[in-house]
Amino acid sequence: MPKMTPVNMSVEGVHAVAGLPPGHQMPTTPAADELGDWTQENYNVDVSVAANLGFPIGNLTGSVQHDALMFGVSRWTDVVSDKHTYRFGVALRALVVVLDIKVSGGLTLPVVAAKVEIEGARASAQLMVRGYVGSDLGGLLPTWQSFGVDSYAQYMAAVSSLQKVILSDAANIQPELLATSVFSRNAPDPEEAVGSVYGLYAIADGATLAHALDKLKVDDPDIAQAVKTLYQSTIGEDDRRVPSPQQRQNARNQLHGFQIRRTWFGGWTGGTQS
């Protein structure tokens, strides 16, 4: 399961923040009746990261320590597109920003409420609804007071009433992007990594795809597929095509001088790295 990062922006916004090109493949937004998963969310989010991910943190200046806690409920489904996972759905989220609160263990809403009431800590909260277009929520919104223990209980009761309406009213659900794996750095599968390195070494040596696969004595289809994928994206579909001098040099550059041991692949007669 890829690491999912909560967001408060569109897919286009996510791609822009992640530095992906404008023409990057877009996922297909699911319909409301496809949202088959339900979750209670609880995230500790660094305020600077949260601001970059579209959450309305506001202007936080000075040397005071800021922490952000996001709590909520959501109904969602995941869509995989171009190796990334996009979580679309409807969600009710409370974002609480706390100032200079020190706790042992995890930061939770009850802990924040107690710290505010007993120790005079400061906290601000925002309630966000994503993916819902119904217009009858005004009377259900909580009355906001100081964030103490009593007001916390009232606040959560109001949130519970809101979530009953939002998550069950399928006619007014228009799924939005709630989280994505775009910001996670997933390591490649070992087979993909081995095949990619072997393929680069073969290209650098001037071998065709057919010759590289013939010398690949490892009986692993995933490694072979990684070699094919690299060749096809670099050289083309013709498995008899010889890499050009520029393609060979590019492969050498990507290897950064790395050398394959000839015994790894049962007789590969790799050339020199120049």
121-171 pLDDT, tens per residue?
677 777 889 999 988 888 787 765 556 666 777 777 888 888 888 988 989
The per-residue pLDDT for 267 is 46
In the structure, what pLDDT confidence band is assigned to residue 18 with cuts at 50, 70 and 90? confident
**Rounded (10°) angle between helices 190-205 and 245-255:** 140
Radius of gyration of the chain measured on its C-alpha atoms: 26
Q: Which residue has the higher pLDDT, 76 or 184?
A: 76
Residue written as token pair 């041991």: 261
* Alpha-carbon span 29 to 131, nearest angstrom: 11
234-261 pLDDT, tens digit each? 888 888 999 999 899 888 888 876 665 5
Given a cut of 80, is residue 201 above it in pLDDT? Answer: yes
Given a cut of 80, is residue 194 above it in pLDDT? Answer: yes
The per-residue pLDDT for 269 is 44
Phi-psi region of 204 (alpha: psi -120 to 50; beta: other; left: phi over 0): alpha
Contact call for residues 41 and 72 (beta carbons, < 8 A): yes
Average pLDDT of every residue of the chain: 80
The per-residue pLDDT for 175 is 97
82-91 pLDDT, tens digit each? 889 999 999 9
Exposed/middle/buried for residue 138 (C-beta within 10 Å: 0-12, 13-18, 19+): exposed
- pTM: predicted TM-score of the whole model, two decimal places: 0.61
